[in-house]
């Protein structure tokens, strides 16, 4: 009986986002099975001539190539040990052992909560603190829900076979009645549960047609996304902001807006080496795609306030927040090992999250100085740009999608579906004739209470 062989391969692209799963192709007695590694990349980031000793399956043009390659090498090593230790297992049985799927050869079934915990650990290890924190909260709720009505001391378990439409609806009702969550919050959490469940389906732990969410429609009430009009952006640019955090927060928002709605984290990570006399070129952390922005007068007006100091390193950041000499700012290959690289990445993302909170606090103060009474955040720069682009490009959604680097046209459509109330008012009034004017609010009409939230602790800039 021939020994099983393993090959790392790239699977066909997913329809949802165009990413390819990296899998182990297991061949035994002329039969083949595939075990997903949990790594998803673009085709251009795949090295088809990779070698095990060099661990170079994922090219260095992916931000997490080192972590992904370490993951693949570790899984491949463990799989080869398993094949040598139990040579009588078939290709399908080896796949089930590698992925944790229950089978006659592997009766210890991995339940959904255990899979959820593993997925959570993967995010935490990869340095995604915000995602890991949110999923930890959901996992705690899932465990508590699974123990309802059970004897004390019994472990929290939800076998995959228990994931039915009734289970989802019961959990949905539990979030509403026990945790008093609003409909939008409940459905957002269920979406995350479904995301993890789809990963289990991709790993072969659950058959696709048994996904209970195929029969459940999660409705999300529309929420007004705060954004600025072009006139308000002009006022924000011209505002006399207080030196320090107010000015930095205002300029961070403007850089996001003038760089095609770039996410705040990418602006915080923008370095002087990313800027040439004619354009900005940098890689987006979330998508792994390169963004090229032609320099224009309004963008230059912000950049000139943050010049590269004489003798300073081009590696220094444009905004004076992140420290380019810190371990978290160094290239992945500069770390002593994979563990150090993961720790550095986690520290970087946590630092970005902390500065983002401060930007969100002070952009409101800067907007107030400009006479803007809106609850805007750093992310509203992205929505504001989408709105401005829609007006200037006559609703060319494909071009706007390219500017925002959205993987799906549907995401861009969501950004653009929330028209400003003033536009709808103007359109409505135009139907009833040019002399029609809106009814003015009575002076004694009660005003809406201002948004109130507890600000995070302030850090020194």
Q: For 193-245, write each residue's pLDDT tens digit.
A: 999 998 888 777 777 778 898 888 877 666 677 889 989 999 999 999 999 99
Q: Looking at 77-86, 179-188, 236-245, 399-408, which range is the least confident one?
A: 399-408
Q: What is the mean pLDDT of the chain?
A: 82
Question: What is the reported pLDDT for 140?
Answer: 94
3-state class of 135 per DSSP? helix
Instruction: Report H helices in 126-280.
Output: 129-146, 165-177, 183-202, 230-238, 245-258, 264-268
Lowest mean pLDDT among 163-167, 291-295, 391-395: 391-395
| C-alpha span between 185 and 259 (Å, rounded) | 31
Straight-line distance from the first to the last Cα atom of the chain, in angstroms, rounded to the nearest whole number: 66
User: Would the pLDDT of 73 be above 80?
Assistant: yes
Query: CA-to-CA distance for 42 and 317, rounded, in angstroms?
Result: 28
Q: Show the 3-state SS of 293-336.
A: EECCHHHHHHHCCCCCCCCCCCCCECCCCCCCCCHHHCCHHHCC
**Is the CB of residue 159 less than 8 Å from the CB of residue 111?**
yes
Burial of 304 per CB tally in 10 Å (0-12, 13-18, 19+): exposed
| Strand, helix or coil for residue 425 | helix
Q: Which residue shows structure tokens 């929505």?
A: 383
pTM of the model: 0.58
20-28/5-13 β-pairing: antiparallel
- Could you tell me how far CA 133 lies from the centroid of its own chain? 13
Return the biggest CA–CA distance within the chain: 89
Alpha carbon distance 232, 89 (integer Å): 67
> How far is residue 27's CA from residue 47's CA, in Å, rounded to a whole number?
21
442: pLDDT strictly greater than 60: no
- Per the CB < 8 A criterion, the answer to whether 356 and 268 are in contact is yes
Mean pLDDT of all residues in 251-280: 94
Residue 361, CB-side half-sphere exposure with 13 Å CA sphere:
15
Nearest of 455, 236, 454, 224 to residue 356 by alpha carbon: 455
Tokens standing for 28? Answer: 């035994």
Confidence category of residue 94, pLDDT binned at 50, 70, 90: confident
What contacts 149, CB < 8 A, 6 or more positions away?
none
Q: Which domains does the chain have, with CATH numbers?
A: 5-99 (no CATH), 112-215 (1.10.150.130), 230-431 (1.10.443.10)
Report in angstroms the alpha-carbon separations of 306 from 252, 261, 264. 11, 20, 17
d(CA 263, CA 279): 18
pLDDT score at 174 = 93
In this prediction, residues 161-179 reach a mean pLDDT of: 91
At residue 446, the pLDDT reads 43
Strand pairing partners for 5? 27
The pLDDT score that the predictor gives to residue 456 is 42
| Beta-strand relationship, 290-294 and 20-28 | unpaired
Choice between 123 and 21, residue whose per-residue pLDDT is larger: 21
pLDDT at 302 over 80: yes
Question: What is the band of 247 on the pLDDT scale with cuts at 50, 70, 90?
Answer: very high
Spatial separation of the C-alpha atoms in residues 77 and 185, rounded to whole Å: 41
**pLDDT score, position 222:** 63
Please provide residue 159's backbone torsions phi and psi, each rounded to the nearest 5 degrees: -55, 150
């Amino acid at each position: 009986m021939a020994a099983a062989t393993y090959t790392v391969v790239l699977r066909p692209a997913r329809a949802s986002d165009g990413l390819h799963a990296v899998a182990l192709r297991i061949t035994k007695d002329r039969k083949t099975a595939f075990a997903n590694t949990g790594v998803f990349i673009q085709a251009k980031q795949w090295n088809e001539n990779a070698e095990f000793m060099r661990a170079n399956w994922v090219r260095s043009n992916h931000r997490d190539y080192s972590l992904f390659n370490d993951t693949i090498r570790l899984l491949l090593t463990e799989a080869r040990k398993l094949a040598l230790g139990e040579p009588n297992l078939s290709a399908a049985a080896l796949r089930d052992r590698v992925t944790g799927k229950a089978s006659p050869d592997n009766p210890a079934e991995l339940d959904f909560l255990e899979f959820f915990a593993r997925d959570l650990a993967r995010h935490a290890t990869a340095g995604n603190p915000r995602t890991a924190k949110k999923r930890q909260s959901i996992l705690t709720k899932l465990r508590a829900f699974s123990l309802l009505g059970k004897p004390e001391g019994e472990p929290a378990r939800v076998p995959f076979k228990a994931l039915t439409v009734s289970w989802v609806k019961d959990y949905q009702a539990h979030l509403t009645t026990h945790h008093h969550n609003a409909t939008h919050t409940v459905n957002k959490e269920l979406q995350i549960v479904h995301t993890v469940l789809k990963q289990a389906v991709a790993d072969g732990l659950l058959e696709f047609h048994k996904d209970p969410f195929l029969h459940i429609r999660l409705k999300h009430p529309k929420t007004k996304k705060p954004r600025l009009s072009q006139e308000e952006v002009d006022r924000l640019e011209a505002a006399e902001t207080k030196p320090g955090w107010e000015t930095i927060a205002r300029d961070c928002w403007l850089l996001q807006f003038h760089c095609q709605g770039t996410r705040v984290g990418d602006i915080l990570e923008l370095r002087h080496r990313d800027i040439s006399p004619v354009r900005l070129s940098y890689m987006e952390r979330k998508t792994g795609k390169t963004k090229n922005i032609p320099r224009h007068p309004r963008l230059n007006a912000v950049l000139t306030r943050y010049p590269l100091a004489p003798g300073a390193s081009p590696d220094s950041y444009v905004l004076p927040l992140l420290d380019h000499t810190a371990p978290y700012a160094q290239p992945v290959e500069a770390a002593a090992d994979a563990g150090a690289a993961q720790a550095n990445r986690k520290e970087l993302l946590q630092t970005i999250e902390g500065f983002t909170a401060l930007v969100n606090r002070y952009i409101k103060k800067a907007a107030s100085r400009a006479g803007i009474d809106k609850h805007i955040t750093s992310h509203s720069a992205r929505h504001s740009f989408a709105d401005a682009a829609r007006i200037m490009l006559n609703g060319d959604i494909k071009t706007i999608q390219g500017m925002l680097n959205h993987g799906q046209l549907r995401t861009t459509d969501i950004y653009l579906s929330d028209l400003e109330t003033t536009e709808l008012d103007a359109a409505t009034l135009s139907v009833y004739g040019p002399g029609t004017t809106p009814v003015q609010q009575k002076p004694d009409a009660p005003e809406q209470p201002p948004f109130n939230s507890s600000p995070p602790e302030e850090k020194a800039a």
